[in-house]
Amino acid sequence: MTEENKVSKAQQKAVHKYVKANYDRLELTVPKGFKDQIKAAAAAAGESVNGYIKTAVERRMESD
C-alpha cells in the first residue's frame, strides 16, 4: 500500500461504525466451485460480488 492509500485506525473505526449502523450482513454458503462462478459472472457484468448477488435477489423478489 502506498503512503497516500493508508487508512488510519480512526478512519477504519468510523467506516465500521457506519456500516454496522446502516447495513445488515448475511453469510452465504454455496457448493465448492460456485463461488468462483459467481465471482466470474459478477466481473463479466462489471459488478462487485455483493452488488451482483443483491441485484439477483432483488429481481427474484420482484418477480415472485
Q: What is the pLDDT of residue 57?
A: 97
pLDDT tens string for the chain (64 positions)? 556 678 899 999 999 999 999 999 999 999 999 999 999 999 999 999 999 999 999 999 999 9
Name the packing angle between helices 49-63 and 34-44 (round to 10°): 90
What per-residue confidence (pLDDT) applies to 14? 96
Determine if the pTM surpasses 0.85. Answer: no
- Name the residue type at position 5: N
**pLDDT number for residue 5:** 76
Helices (H) and strands (E) in the chain, counts: 3, 0
